[in-house]
Structure 1
Amino acid sequence: MAALSGFLRSKLFWPQAGLFHSGFRLLAGDKELLVKLRKKTGYSFMNCKKALEKFNNDVKEAETWLHQQAQKEGWNKASKLQGRKTAEGLVGLLQEGSSAVMVEVNCETDFVARNVKFQQLVQQAALCTLKHCRTGEQHQASYSKGLLPGEEILHMKTHESSLKDVLAMTIGKLGENMLVRRAAWFMISSDIFIGSYMHGTLQADLPSLTNMSFGKYGSLVVCRKTDASSTSNITELGRRLGQHVVGMNPLSVGSIEDECTGDAETRMLAQPFLLEPSLTVGQYLQPHGVQVLDFVRFECGEEIQSSETSPF
């Protein structure tokens, strides 16, 4: 048994390199610790068993070691996979109080984009961005806005580590190259509202993900009510404006007068409104007493100007 134990300990940590023999017998108390550690960490029973043996059933030490090994393996796999094309992925949208954020995270296949662990990575990127925008310097303007490249987001902290570590571990678990690509955020004052829309929506499978919206296209539209007596449904109006931004892809807000200019087709207020093409967006908004101030549109996988390099 000692020789066998020594052989097993000479194997690499993860199952790809070598697995634990399934014939080991555990006492009832050991089994309870094993189940507890497995449930808490999500790692395989074999790796959890090794951790408990290594630290004499000290669950806390075993958990720490498991995370360290997972991170190491994730970094190794991330380094091997870097350079592989990441054309799929998700746009994630999170609204909370006076803040709204949108992130894009890419992977290699749509199959992985539908995996809960990948969606949790998108959620962590959104939560990091939300925390970042709330802890930054606040101005007295009616709204503030930020656009962040992926490298900046990766250095932000989750509850346990940097997002860069979470990315590496997710790559290690799912076996595909991934890229936290970009994020955008808005913070608004009390007289402003944010409309949002997500196209190609993907249903989240975990209750912990229900605060997120996932899809292939997303938009945030910042608006101000100019008529306090207006009875418009602000939430629905904001959703319609977001839908227009996704569908018509304007490049700027512009003004109603822009409909006579040569680049009217790229200015939101001068464009035919997606849901009522007989009206421009500006004409549609006039009776609703609403002014569009700004917007952001993300399309998963679209070309953007900033350079993208692997973080690994």
Structure 2
Amino acid sequence: MPRPQDARLQGQVRQFLNALERERRLSANTIHAYRRDLRQLIEFANDKGISDWSLLSIRQARFFPAKLHQHGLSGRSIQRMLSACRAFYRFLLKQGGAEVNPFAGIAAPKYPKKLPQTLSVDELSELLEQHDSSILSLRDHAMLELFYSSGLRLSELASLNDTSIDFQQNQIIVVGKGNKQRIVLVGRKAVAALTAWLTRRHELVKPQNLAKPQNDTQPENALFVNQNGTRLSVRGIQYRLNQWAKAKGLGRRLHPHMLRHSFASHILESSGDLRAVQEMLGHSDIGSTQIYTHLDFQHLAKVYDNAHPRARKSSK
């Protein structure tokens, strides 16, 4: 049985998570990540004998990431956890549950930023080459083309409905992080692939296949459906993409974000317009988009090494 102070600490965390879900409408995965990170903060508070969040001192808050680092947690994970702690204390300040935010200004240990993995244009051309005419191949081809054409997140693709696409304007309305909507352009080849899929989609979405209660007569409105005629899950999309990566001989796992990263880096290489890429990706902070400038620099460095007379290696 939890101690009274444990129940109080957990109760305020629960209120915070409920507020995130209700007011900011964050995804279930994001809420789960906050819950997991704050569970470690609760354990830390219990170890220190803290009975109320207002009693956690700045000194103790500074010791928290140090302890996590000693236990082998990566700098990236500690940074994420500190972000959750700061957000929680901002909530407590508004609710009158604390007078200061002890985590304000505390930095995580520095860590080397990993550059996002991308596919080359040749790899993408091979991957996106027209598949056979089976209904599942048409569906998968449409998913791959749309991923690369529009730079969608996996959750955004999975949540699309059959009415999300405006074929007159060649664009879709996407609901991204924080329930924010944005309009995304769809390329010519993606439009063609989507059109081909939608002419066959009805073969899977049949009344006898709808996994819905009998008193619910609403048809399935998901853009991409599975063999049972219901919305294709995030895991289902990941599985199908990896199946195509194997079939095409890519020699590595194909994470959906690789298509999003490839979209961003290829657009930036061609245009050099970082702000446009930020808008297309739906990044609220351009700092999140700037990682692609490193990829663009790598590309330019390769071009320089291969093209400049003073940079080329001697063939002797």
TM-score by structure 1 length? 0.26
Q: Which has the higher strand share?
A: 1
Q: Which has the higher helix share?
A: 2
TM-score by structure 2 length? 0.26
